[in-house]
Structure 1
Amino acid sequence: MTKALILVGGYGTRLRPLTLSVPKPLIHFCNKSIVEHQIEALVNQAGVNHVILAVAYQPDAMIDALHHLESKFGIRITCSREEEPLGTAGPIRLAKDLIVENGDDSDSFFVCNSDVICEFPLKEMIAFHQKHGQEGTILVTKVDDPSKYGVVVAEDDGKIERFVEKPKEFVGDCINAGLYIFRKSIIDRIEPRPTSIEKEVFPVMAAEGALYRMKLQGYWADIGQPKDFLKGMHLYLDSVDKKWKKGQIEHDDEIPKLAKGDKFIGNVLVSESATIGDGCLIGPDVTIGPNCRIDDGVRIQRSALMEGVTVRSYSWIDSSILGWESTVGKWVRIEGLTVVGQDVQINKECYINGAFILPHKGINNSIHTSGTIVM
């Protein structure tokens, strides 16, 4: 399989204020852009050599990022630009000429939702797709409370019978995980207009017996909002830890090494260019990006620090995301799912609880009320 279409057209409103500075797919998740996680898996596991990005928001920034990723992975990356939001199926039709262009003899292609982070069992998906021989394969994941989702109901062999939206009675516990393999013939099912693949395309395919599901073994998360971003970070770091312990490492450059030592508790990922002072306690579930500076006596847990963040001495950070080049003063306490945008300066001895702080702001007073937006 040589091609993959990644759906990156959303505006990323749920991850604001981070997406006010950087398109959502380029935000670093565990020190690597979200889209790079997906491209890396597509290249290393499935042999994809042409990635198509369905882009609507901040296309120039996405295009600028392509050159680095093309060079790094030795593949071709192109953009299919939406002039208007086309839903989850419309971008597939829009990219038709790129998907079916001459010289590509592959019958099928991948489609990925850019919010998804998981184990990416792409080799297994290809084998399953080829075995059943039908038009489409959906990756599904098991959830504890299916009443909150659209449930995929299928036979034992994986043939999908129907989809049930937020069922009041139990009909199954598997939901769409946002990763697909399709034959190119699916393009002709999609009209050139905003279209939902879940509501308009999949039910017809299922009725024809042309759609199968494969169950995901391992973690999965939709990381499109802060709470789920941090949950996905926990699941990813836990998966990395288990792989190292079991020796299941196929690509040393793909699986990062976790930080070890007296300063760290649980699973922590620290960029090689970051510095951490004396008397710090970091973890569990923390990622610290490139060129971050953590001064003495800092406590950080369940949080993500983007590139260039500075945390001054004796500050406390819990369950929060700090944007690029932001500075946290001495003796600051940040908690309650706070999200700090780019280049924010938080003065010493402030208390921040569950706030959303837009880029380039200076914070001189405490914020006690959760949900406060600083514009």
Structure 2
Amino acid sequence: MKYQRRNCSIKYLKEFKALGTAGGLYFFREEIMKGNPDNFLVIHGDIVCEFPLSDIIDFYEAKQELSKQKLDGVLFGIKPTNYDLFTTMKNTEKSSLGVIVSDKTTGKVVHYVENPETKISDVFNGGIYLFNDQLFKRLGNAKISKITQAQNSSNFGSGHDDEDIISMETDILRNLPEYGNTYVYEYRGFWHAIKTPADALTANKLYLEKLNKAGLSSTNPSAVSSPISSTPLHRRQDTVDRIILQQASVNIVPPVFIHPTAKIDYEQGTKIGPYVSIGENVVVGAGARITNSIVLDDVTIRSGALISNSIISYNCTIGSWARVEGTGINTASITEILKQAGGEKFKELLAAHESFKVIGIKDSGHISILGSGTDVSEEAYVLNSFILPNKSIKHDVKYEIVM
């Protein structure tokens, strides 16, 4: 993936109410097209991936030059390495699943289906699009159609029909193939939708794996594939901070990021990792154990404490020998179930699996979260719980939301 500077502008616009996944584009159409841009990117704000935006633009321009006419758009299609695991996790999360069917030779989109009942393609909508002003014609048509439907509906005036709400998936993408000028950019890198707090840990894991694969450790800080500052961890106006991961050792299980201002006591068997990010001015005492967690700035973790499958917010204090953990979701065991069974038998096995039993907080993702300023006393145990800010935890808390 290459990086290239492009002349673009970023604007922050706030909807007056929830307008659906495309209603805001129509409402702010004049602001978006101010300056007559040739095209523009639409990116869902709840996804993480490598964001190959320059490659998508190059792909768009190449297809447009080949077709000798304006494209309706380019859709960012993700192609997961494990189709069954991907669809299983998405169905478990009860999130939408748009599927793109394209001509394998040209890449032209011939069909788009939201939440199909059967497998019709292994390319999914990744939530990034490149459009031009043609989109607003499509949005205008969708708006007129919604107004007409609302007026003809027996519920007209009841408040149930809101013509301001436009769906990118059902009102736009589903209809684009009929115009015959939309293409899919297929992507095979990591991708994940951020729907719950637990997804932040997944995002942390994916980015750490990416950096680790690129070789960004303290032994090889120059192995960088993006525009980075030549001075590690010093921000300059025209660059991005260098992220250097920790080298594997008796105390570190990669991948792990520890901010250089953090103070770690590596005595008495302290162990950190894998999949741990530690922020500025964090203090970790001797013998502590941290795994698959995010620790934000100014946190103090005292000796012998354990942090696992958790997010620790700013200015928290974890007492000696305290435990803050979540049970997490074991995707490896889910993959094994997939190998052993299919169809209805698979669904039965999955429903009975520990990773998907709903205990305590619904949709918690089986993690613990400490709000900022939380104080966990010595030897206290926090399991699969959400603690709101500025609380003092003196006793065990399991499967609870502490207000």
Give your verdict on TM over 0.5: yes
Query: What is the CA–CA distance in structure 2 between the aligned matches of 1:46 and 1:132, rounded to whole Å?
Result: 21
2:395 equivalent to 1:374: no
What TM-score results when the alignment is normalised by the length of structure 2? 0.71
Determine the structure 1 residue equivalent to 2:56. Answer: 125
User: Does structure 2 retain, via aligned residues, the 8 Å contact 1:289–1:307?
Assistant: yes
Determine the structure 1 residue equivalent to 2:228. Answer: 252
Determine the structure 2 residue equivalent to 1:187. Answer: 136
Determine the structure 2 residue equivalent to 1:155. Answer: 103
Determine the structure 1 residue equivalent to 2:252. Answer: 264
Query: What is the CA–CA distance in structure 1 between the aligned matches of 2:25 and 2:260, rounded to whole Å?
Result: 39
Q: Give the SS at the match of 1:89.
A: helix
Structure 2 residue corresponding to 1:221, chosen from 183, 192, 216: 192
Q: How far is 1:204 from its partner? A: 1.7
Determine the structure 2 residue equivalent to 1:18. Answer: none
2:374 equivalent to 1:344: yes
Determine the structure 1 residue equivalent to 2:336. Answer: none
Determine the structure 1 residue equivalent to 2:296. Answer: 306
User: Does structure 2 retain, via aligned residues, the 8 Å contact 1:80–1:94?
Assistant: no
Q: How far is 1:286 from its partner? A: 0.2
Displacement over 6 Å in runs of 4+:
none
Q: Give the SS at the match of 1:188.
A: helix
Query: What is the CA–CA distance in structure 1 between the aligned matches of 2:55 and 2:390, rounded to whole Å?
Result: 45
User: Does structure 1 retain, via aligned residues, the 8 Å contact 2:114–2:169?
Assistant: no
Determine the structure 1 residue equivalent to 2:148. Answer: none
Counterpart mapping for 1:68-217 below 5 A: 79-102=12-35, 104=36, 106-133=37-64, 134-143=71-80, 144-145=83-84, 146=87, 148=91, 149-156=97-104, 157-190=106-139, 191=143, 193-217=164-188
More strand by share: 1
Determine the structure 2 residue equivalent to 1:231. Answer: 202
Q: How far is 1:46 from its partner? A: 5.3
User: Does structure 2 retain, via aligned residues, the 8 Å contact 1:274–1:292?
Assistant: yes
> CA RMSD, aligned part only?
2.2
Unaligned runs of 5+ in 1: 1-40, 53-78
Unaligned runs of 5+ in 2: 65-70, 92-96, 144-162, 230-239, 327-366
Q: Would you say how many aligned residue pairs link Structure 1 and Structure 2?
A: 304
User: Does structure 2 retain, via aligned residues, the 8 Å contact 1:284–1:301?
Assistant: yes
User: Does structure 1 retain, via aligned residues, the 8 Å contact 2:313–2:371?
Assistant: yes
What TM-score results when the alignment is normalised by the length of structure 1? 0.76
Q: Give the SS at the match of 2:207.
A: helix
User: Does structure 1 retain, via aligned residues, the 8 Å contact 2:113–2:174?
Assistant: no
Query: What is the CA–CA distance in structure 1 between the aligned matches of 2:108 and 2:191, rounded to whole Å?
Result: 22
Q: How far is 1:262 from its partner? A: 4.0
Query: What is the CA–CA distance in structure 2 between the aligned matches of 1:329 and 1:207, rounded to whole Å?
Result: 62
2:347 equivalent to 1:326: no
Output one character per residue of 1:137-181: Cα deviation in whole Å (capped at 9) or x when no partner: 111112323473222122112222222233332211221111111
State, as a whole percentage, how many aligned pairs show the same letter.
Answer: 30
Change (3 A) 1:312 1:248: closer
Which one has the largest radius of gyration? 2
Query: What is the CA–CA distance in structure 1 between the aligned matches of 2:168 and 2:5, rounded to whole Å?
Result: 23
